[in-house]
């Protein structure tokens, strides 16, 4: 998928700075914060799949839904970063998108300990 064809659905725990940056970079981006901040995770995955959006989240429950429940998805970027401020979150997401944007769509990606694991 070409870089600006990537579309995102940003979960509530991720920062507004990340949402704004994605939009500024020309990515089609929607925010759960603006749709329904209390939306259940299954519904988030469902909307993302329907709209071919990659979910950016800090919620480990998405791993459960994808791997244990086998729910289909259009890609998940799980940020396992505790105690990061919004500027640090933004820096991490910028790096991931810059380096891996062509290889993350449709994949389950986990960022932890300064490393990105991409699983099919």
Map residue 62 onto helix, strand or coil: helix
Name the residue range of residue 19's domain. 3-119
The domain that contains 63 carries what CATH number? 3.40.50
CA distances (Å), 118 to each of 12, 79, 87, in order? Answer: 22, 12, 23
Tens digit of pLDDT at every position of the chain (120 positions) = 444 589 999 999 999 999 999 999 999 999 999 999 999 999 999 999 999 999 999 999 999 999 889 999 999 999 999 888 999 999 999 999 999 999 999 999 999 999 999 998
Q: What is the pTM of this model?
A: 0.94
Domain count, the chain: 1
């Amino acid at each position: 998928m070409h870089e600006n064809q990537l579309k995102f659905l940003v979960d509530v725990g991720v920062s507004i700075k990340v949402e704004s940056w994605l939009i500024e970079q020309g990515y089609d981006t929607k925010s759960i914060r603006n749709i329904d901040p209390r939306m259940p995770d299954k519904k988030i995955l469902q909307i993302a799949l329907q709209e071919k959006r990659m979910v950016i989240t800090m919620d480990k429950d998405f791993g459960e839904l994808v791997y244990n429940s086998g729910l289909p998805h259009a890609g998940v970027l799980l940020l396992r970063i505790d105690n990061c401020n919004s500027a640090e979150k933004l820096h991490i997401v910028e790096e991931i998108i810059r380096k891996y944007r062509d290889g993350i769509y449709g994949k389950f990606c986990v960022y932890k300990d300064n490393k990105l694991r991409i699983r099919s």
